[in-house]
């Protein structure tokens, strides 16, 4: 089952008694849980009828929660925010798996997982699995347009495309930026245009890093260092910066490996599973780096990460030195 089918089931009030949510799109998981709770539990009774587990728990406690009858509501809802919170021996996990086939129609158990590890397969097997995959760019653009429309605001197509670039398809970030833009637009003409996005929306660190690296690769060093200084001014983003650089080069490495296998065009974009901007940036960079150079870059990133975490180097100096090596030696070595 996917997110869209579950939304339909919630609308028809025909939900299952046990679910395992899998996949990377956390925003959609939160969104559909909110819809499910609102559909089956009165707002003033949420605290009495909804249990959210955010730490370790044993299977007996989970079963006891599910056995508790709802109070003045259609269902009792038990949400385990990470499947890895379930701590028990093999017998306990087996007991929970068996119980999931017997859960009362008065309860809905939801277990959230990015992936299902081996020890939890019996649990997942006895629940309805719902996949929450990243939406395509077109689906995201439609969602953004409809979101704005519900607020009586018009989101222009070029504005939506630019916001998608800034947020790199992160739905949580897109929602936060849209909220700001909608408030801003209502103070003028209830239209969000491209200038509004450029002035109001916050660019993700991933977007800024991709642009910075693009400038370096085009040998536009003044623009690259200007963007790097702007990123540093944000403060507290050292490891986010390293992570974003690493993610970008992982994309390049994967794209290069696929191209060398003969994958091209739409098939390449589909395999990369990135938004259009990130995919095109990675594909373009495959012409700049060899596999040997990319391996060198990964070594450099690991060394920088290690030196910072172990106190051997100051964060700013370590990243400055890394960038010098990355865009001098990294591009010249073969």
Over residues 75-93, the pLDDT tens digits come to: 999 999 999 999 989 899 9
Are residues 209 and 195 part of one domain?
A: no
pLDDT value at residue 231: 86
Choose the weakest-confidence range: 52-66, 158-172, 300-314. 300-314
200, 232, 249: which is the final residue of a domain?
200
pLDDT of residue 236: 59
Same domain? 64 vs 179:
no
Instruction: Please state the domain count of the chain.
Output: 3
**Domain final residue pick, 78, 99, 131:** 131
CA dihedral sign of residues 199, 202, 203, 205: positive
Indicate if 122 and 19 belong to the same structural domain.
yes
pLDDT in tens, 144-155: 999 999 999 999
- The pLDDT value recorded for residue 235 is 66
8-40 pLDDT tens trace = 999 999 999 999 999 999 999 999 999 999 999
Q: Please indicate, yes or no, whether residues 114 and 8 belong to a single structural domain of this protein.
A: yes
Q: Please check the confidence at residue 232 and state whether its pLDDT lies above 60.
A: yes
Residues 90 and 47 reside in one and the same domain: yes
Q: Which pLDDT score, from 0 to 100, does residue 188 have?
A: 83
Q: Is 255 found in the same domain as 321? A: yes
Q: What is the mean pLDDT of residues 312-326?
A: 84
Output the domain CATH number for residue 186. 1.10.8.60
Which residue has 């990130």 as its token pair?
A: 278
User: Tell me, what's the pLDDT at 331?
Assistant: 53
Torsion of CA 38, 39, 44, 48, to 10 degrees: -100
Interval 90-109: pLDDT, tens: 899 999 999 999 999 999 99
Are residues 147 and 71 both part of a single domain?
no
- Shared domain for 195 and 222, answered yes or no, is no
Q: Which residue did the predictor score with more confidence, 210 or 239?
A: 210
Looking at the fold, whether 126 and 143 belong to one and the same domain comes out as no
Domain co-membership, 223 together with 325: yes
Do 95 and 37 reside in the same domain of the chain? yes
Query: For residue 16, what is the domain's CATH number?
Result: 3.40.50.300
pLDDT beyond 50 at 334: no
DSSP 8-class letter at 190: S
Residue 107 bridge partners (DSSP) = 76
Distance, CA of 211 to CA of 214 (rounded, Å): 5
pLDDT at 311 over 90: no
**Residues 226 and 307 occupy one common structural domain:** yes
Q: Choose one of 200, 217, 244: the last residue of a domain.
A: 200
Q: Using one digit for the tens of pLDDT, what is the confidence trace for 183-230?
A: 999 888 899 999 999 999 999 998 999 999 999 888 898 999 898 888
Per DSSP, which regions of the chain are E strands?
18-22, 50-53, 76-80, 107-112, 128-131, 154-155, 191-192
pLDDT tens digits, one per residue of 165-176:
999 889 999 999
Q: Which domain holds residue 196?
A: 137-200
Which letter, b or e, does each residue of 138-161 get, where b requires 16 or more Cβ atoms within 10 Å of its Cβ?
Answer: eebbebbbebbeeeebebbeebbb
Q: Which residue has the higher pLDDT, 225 or 48?
A: 48
CATH number of the domain where residue 293 is located: 1.20.272.10
């Amino acid at each position: 089952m996917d997110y869209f089918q579950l939304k339909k089931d919630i609308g028809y009030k025909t939900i299952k008694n046990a679910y395992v949510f899998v996949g990377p799109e956390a925003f959609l998981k939160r969104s559909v849980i909110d819809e499910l709770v609102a559909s089956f539990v009165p707002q003033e009774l949420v605290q009495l009828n909804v249990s959210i587990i955010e730490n370790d728990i044993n299977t007996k406690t989970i079963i006891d929660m599910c056995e508790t009858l709802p109070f003045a509501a259609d269902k009792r809802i038990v949400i385990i925010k990470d499947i890895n919170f379930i701590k028990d021996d093999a017998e306990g996990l087996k007991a929970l798996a068996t119980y999931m086939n017997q859960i009362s129609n008065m309860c809905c158990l939801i277990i959230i997982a990015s992936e299902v590890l081996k020890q939890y397969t019996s649990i997942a097997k006895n629940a309805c699995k719902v996949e929450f995959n990243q939406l395509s760019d077109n689906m995201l653009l439609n969602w953004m347009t409809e979101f704005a429309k519900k607020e009586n605001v018009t989101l222009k197509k070029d504005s939506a495309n630019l916001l998608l670039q800034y947020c790199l398809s992160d739905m949580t970030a897109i929602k936060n930026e849209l909220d700001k833009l909608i408030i801003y637009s209502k103070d003028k003409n209830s239209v969000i245009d491209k200038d509004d996005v450029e002035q109001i929306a916050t660019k993700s660190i991933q977007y800024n890093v991709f642009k910075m690296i693009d400038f370096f690769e085009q040998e536009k060093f003044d623009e690259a260092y200007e963007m790097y200084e702007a990123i540093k001014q944000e403060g507290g983003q050292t490891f986010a910066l390293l992570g974003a650089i690493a993610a970008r080069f992982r994309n390049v490495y994967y794209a290069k490996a696929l191209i060398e296998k003969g994958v091209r065009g739409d098939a390449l974009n589909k395999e990369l599973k990135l938004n259009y901007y990130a995919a095109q940036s990675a594909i373009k960079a495959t012409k700049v780096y060899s596999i040997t150079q990319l391996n060198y870059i990964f070594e450099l990133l690991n060394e920088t990460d290690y030196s910072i975490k172990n106190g051997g180097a100051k964060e700013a100096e370590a990243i400055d030195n890394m960038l010098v090596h990355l865009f001098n030696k990294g591009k010249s070595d073969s």
